[in-house]
Amino acid sequence: MFAQTPKPPYWAVIFTSQRSDVDADYARVADQMVELAARQPGFLGVESVRGADGFGITVSYWASEAAIAAWKAEGRHRLAQGAGYARWYTALFTRVACVTRDHAWTRG
């Protein structure tokens, strides 16, 4: 699903990850984190896809770098991050970026 973001500039966190074969609690906590992120100040939206091979890309959008820092430090999110390292992922890459231009198009 597309995120409906405001006019740039705004910020993006590009989170790419490879899932492990450990499924316990993953889907439940992943859903919780999306709900929790959506209640954070400065949250603008999220787009997420995971392929059948377990490689996934999640891009969350934020109003400021401060909003990203606050989300990174949020208590339940920190617990989930720990479980991610310990159990759910075999590798991950997080990139913080400032969106300077965008273009949206929908058919018809």
**Residue 92 near residue 15 (C-beta atoms within 8 A):** yes
Site for a second copy in 13-42 (CB under 8 A): 14, 16, 18, 20
Q: How far is the CB of 69 from a second copy (least distance, A)?
A: 11
**Residue 46 near residue 58 (C-beta atoms within 8 A):** yes
Q: How far is the CB of 23 from a second copy (least distance, A)?
A: 16
Among 27, 34, 82, 90, binds a second copy (CB under 8 A): 90
Q: How far is the CB of 65 from a second copy (least distance, A)?
A: 8
Please give the order of strands across the beta sheet that includes 55-62.
10-19, 55-62, 43-50
92 in contact with a second copy (CB under 8 A): yes
**Residue 92 near residue 84 (C-beta atoms within 8 A):** yes
Read off the tokens for 10.
Answer: 């705004």
The CA distance from 96 to 61, in Å, is 10
Residues that bind a second copy (CB under 8 A): 1-3, 5, 8, 12, 14, 16, 18, 20, 47-52, 55-57, 59, 85, 89-107
